[in-house]
Amino acid sequence: MTTIQTFTWSDRYLLGHQSIDDTHREFVEHVRTLQEARDTDIPEALEAFIRHAEAHFTQENAWLNAPDFPGGGECHIEEHEKVLSSAYDVREVVAQGRYDVARAYAQALVGWFPGHADYMDSALATWLVKRSHNGRPLVFRRMEAV
């Protein structure tokens, strides 16, 4: 039996760019809502996630497409496209009553997000802070209970 890990916000996800951090909190909330939704509420929860992800990724992609973004952001943008493409595929299956697929998708996002934030979004946040403040992000994290 697969263990379901409920997705909750943690300061470990903070990157030091207010807009990105706020959007990431919303992302976590949408995924958790999808995880915890009753079957009858899954289509609505999935649509809310899709709307959030579209706006979230559109904003990040705009930053990544800036002419002065170092090294290009193609790989980062491709990850966004894959997450959205999968969401659209899940929407089609959910329309047929396969709510288990939406729950599995949410669980996959729980596994995907930390690495994406740590490796891709952190580079974006660092660049945005350097560009706007000529410095590096400063992040204060609360100590979490062990």
Taking only the tens place, the pLDDT of each residue in 31-82 is 999 999 999 999 999 999 999 999 999 999 999 999 989 877 899 999 999 9
Helix (H/G/I), strand (E/B), else coil: 137: coil
Model-level pTM? 0.89
Amino acid at 73: G
Domain 14-133 has CATH 1.20.120.50: yes
Q: Express the helix, strand and coil content of the chain in percent, nearest 5 each.
A: 70, 0, 30
Q: Sorting pLDDT into bands at 50, 70 and 90, what band is 110?
A: very high
Evaluate whether 60 touches 121 at the Cβ level (below 8 Å): yes
Take residue 70 and report the two structure tokens written for it: 């170092």
Q: What is the pLDDT of residue 143?
A: 62
| Statement: residue 133 has pLDDT above 80 | no
Q: Which residues of 2-38 are buried (b: 16+ CB within 10 A; e: fewer)?
A: eeeeebeeeeebbbbbeebbebbebbbbbbbbbbebe
